Amino acid sequence: MLEVKNLVVNYGSIKGVDDISFHVDEGEIVTLIGANGAGKTSTLRALSGLNKVGTMTSIKFMGEELTKMTPHQIVAKGLNHVPEGRRIFYSMTVKENLLMGAWTDKDAATIKKNMERAYTLFPRLKERESQIGGTLSGGEQQMLAVARALMTGGKMLLLDEPSMGLAPIVVRGIFDIIQELQKEGMTILLVEQNANMALSIANRAYVLETGKISLEGPAAEIKANDQVRKAYLGA
Ligand code: ATP
């Protein structure tokens, strides 16, 4: 579904992502794990058209090359980004936030259907439909960020550190929902520092180290790898 070749992201003389290639098949959860500054966010931003990529980079989504598209065009193709830090609209209600996510659709019936789906997945958001976004708890804001991305009715989600700053029990809830989305047929690329959780729900994993992929394979294998256990799983 997503095929990335020779991804390079440079910030002046700093290499954010240093020539990586990876793929995500339809229906998979693939995780990119790595320490601070490894290049995880830079990778997701490049996929969404928010970072400039190298001249040799190819990013194919459902057979189409994304590297020349704008972020708006990329979302309209069905690739949705949930950025780090739950960037919701703080002064808007839950419902208004969801409606903002529906900008790719003009059809009221589709918007209604997508909203019902979001509320089925996140009943807590339904209860808080009229609450102002900025007053939601951290976990609820993360739910809202994911729900808003679902409003476009896209086919693949890019999740940037959904567990960041959340209590373990809330993280569990968010990861349950990610698995639920996979069951519904969503394809997911999950960037995480919480390697333990990410590897427990992913099908496959890539380990990023200073902009390069140092290891890749089935998530269970990566989780059992000695190096990974020492560096990322606190073993
Ligand atoms: P974290 O888990 O801390 O968010 P990350 O793996 O997502 O880290 P990136 O944010 O992609 O890492 O950063 C990769 C490298 O690129 C880092 O060295 C970072 O300092 C650098 N970098 C990221 N964004 C910029 C920018 N806008 N300008 C300059 N350097 C940047």
The 10s digit of each residue's pLDDT in 85-115 is 778 999 999 999 999 888 776 788 888 988 9
Over 90: is that where the pLDDT of 217 sits?
yes
Neighbouring CB atoms inside 10 A of 210's CB total 14
Q: How far does the centroid of ligand 1 lie from the alpha carbon of residue 196, in Å?
A: 22
- Comparing C-alpha atoms, which of 21, 28, 71 is closest to residue 188? 28
- List CB contacts of 63: < 8 A, sequence separation 6 or more: none
Residue with CA at minimum distance from ligand 1 atom 17: 37
State pTM to two decimals: 0.92
**Strands 14-24 and 2-11, sheet pairing:** antiparallel
Q: Which is more confident, 7 or 166?
A: 7
ipTM of the complex: 0.94
Residue with CA at minimum distance from ligand 1 atom 27: 11
Distinct helix (H) and strand (E) counts, the chain: 10, 10
Q: How far does the centroid of ligand 1 lie from the alpha carbon of residue 210, in Å?
A: 10
